[in-house]
């Protein structure tokens, strides 16, 4: 059971380049989300999804796009990378709770470390 | 904006109990409190959650005050491998999103 898999683990981009961080889970979780973690800032929610075809913004969505075409995958796209997007990105998934969102027991991937020069 | 408040850092001697407090004074009656930890730069790991009764699992115990405004995560016999950042969090807003502050950095020492 692989859990939540993120690729790539490391990436260096130049300003203005685009890329996609991949996230896949094999637990049939309805809820998926992306966080970024910067030194001294904790984890900040970028985007989340409560099911295939449904996405919404978190705390810091600007500069990022997401889509959810399948239950398993939730890619995060940077359309034009900026140095401010240098960070560690975590994908997380969970079962859906009674309120329609996360049930709260999030499973996290190992992170993707992105540097934008 | 719903928030939790935790001390920035704590120390604990190996073998002793580590008691990590969290204040969540604005929590609603049906909102759970969740605890996670993050070792080094790994992805956060779920520890435990509770509503109003005390909870225990193989990793830790969770004590929630009767008024539910605060809770304490207890690691009964801390080891060096418990050195990590511990996050107390609660669902907020639509879709019950979990947001994470800066947590408590627990240092377990010999």
**Residue A12: what pLDDT?**
97
Distance between CA A116 and CA A8 in Å, rounded?
14
Query: B99 and A45: CB-CB below 8 Å?
Result: yes
Mean pLDDT of B80-93: 92
Would you give the distance in Å from CA A60 to the centre of its chain? Answer: 12
The answer to whether residues B88 and B25 touch, using CB atoms and an 8 Å cutoff, is no
If residue B23 lies in a helix (H) or strand (E), which one and from where to where?
strand B18-23
Per-residue pLDDT tens over the stretch A27-60: 999 999 999 999 888 899 999 999 999 999 999 9
**Residue B2: what pLDDT?**
54
Mean pLDDT of A93-104: 80
**Residue A1: what pLDDT?**
65
Which of the four pLDDT bands, split at 50, 70 and 90, describes residue B94?
A: low
Mean pLDDT of B104-109: 97
Query: B46 and A106: CB-CB below 8 Å?
Result: yes
Query: B41 and A43: CB-CB below 8 Å?
Result: no
Mutate to test the interface with B, among A33, A60, A93, A105 (most CBs of B within 10 A): A105
Which of the four pLDDT bands, split at 50, 70 and 90, describes residue B99?
A: confident
First to last CA, chain B: 39
Which of the four pLDDT bands, split at 50, 70 and 90, describes residue B3?
A: confident
- On average, the pLDDT of chain B sits at 92
- Non-local (6+) Cβ contacts of B28 within 8 A are none
- CA distance to partner chain B, nearest, from residue A82 (Å): 23
**Residue A8: what pLDDT?**
97
Mean pLDDT of A70-80: 97
A19 touching B (Cβ < 8 Å): no
B99 → closest Cβ in A50, A59, A105:
A59
């Amino acid at each position: 059971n692989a859990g939540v898999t993120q690729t790539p683990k490391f990436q260096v981009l130049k300003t203005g380049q685009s890329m996609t961080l991949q996230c896949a889970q094999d637990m049939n979780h309805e809820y998926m989300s992306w966080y970024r973690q910067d030194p001294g800032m904790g984890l900040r929610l970028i985007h989340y999804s409560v099911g295939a075809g449904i996405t919404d913004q978190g705390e810091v969505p600007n500069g990022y796009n997401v889509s959810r075409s399948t239950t398993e995958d939730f890619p995060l796209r940077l359309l034009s990378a900026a140095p401010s997007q240098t960070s560690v990105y975590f994908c997380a998934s969970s079962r859906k709770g009674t309120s329609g969102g996360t049930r709260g027991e999030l499973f996290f991937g190992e992170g993707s470390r992105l540097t934008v020069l | 904006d719903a928030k939790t408040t935790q001390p920035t850092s704590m120390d604990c001697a190996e073998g002793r109990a580590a008691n990590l407090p969290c204040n969540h004074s604005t929590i609603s009656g049906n909102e759970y409190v969740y605890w996670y930890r993050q070792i080094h730069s790994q992805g956060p790991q779920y520890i435990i959650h509770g509503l109003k009764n005390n909870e225990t699992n193989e990793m830790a115990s969770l004590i929630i005050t009767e008024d539910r405004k605060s809770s304490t995560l207890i690691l009964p016999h801390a080891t060096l491998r418990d050195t990590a950042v511990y996050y107390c969090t609660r669902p907020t807003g639509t879709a019950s999103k979990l947001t994470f502050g800066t947590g408590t950095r627990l240092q377990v020492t010999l």
